[in-house]
Amino acid sequence: MAGNFHSVKCPDCENEQVVFGKASTEVACAVCGHVLVRPTGGAAEIEGEVLDTVERRA
Ligand SMILES: [Zn+2]
């Protein structure tokens, strides 16, 4: 099953990071450690501004 990748801007330090839209674990900002993605069992909850979405085709 294909998932989406999102380019997310950290609300704390403005670092841009690419995260998987269905992450099963928390994803923290590589710079400041702010949690950018929280798993919810389905589509992950994304904190911060989504700058871009890339649809991945299998
Ligand atoms: Zn950050």
Domain ranges for the chain = 4-55
Average pLDDT over residues 22-26: 90
pLDDT of residue 30: 97
| Cα 46 to averaged position of ligand 1 atoms, centre (Å) | 13
| Cα 44 to averaged position of ligand 1 atoms, centre (Å) | 18
Each residue of 10-48: b (16+ CB within 10 Å) or e?
Answer: beeeeeebebebbbeeebebeeeeeebbeeeeeebebbb
* pLDDT tens, residue by residue, 28-46: 999 999 999 999 988 889 9
Q: Kindly report the pTM of this predicted structure.
A: 0.82
Is 49 assigned to a binding site? no
DSSP state string for 3-57 = -EEEEEE-TTT--EEEEETT-SS-EE-TTT--EEEE--SSSPEE-SEEEEEEE--
- Whether domain 4-55 has CATH 2.10.109.10: no
| Cα 19 to averaged position of ligand 1 atoms, centre (Å) | 13
Is 26 assigned to a binding site? no
pLDDT of residue 43: 82
Is 25 assigned to a binding site? no
Higher pLDDT, 33 or 23: 33
The conformation of residue 58, written as its DSSP 8-state character, comes to: -
pLDDT at 58 over 70: no
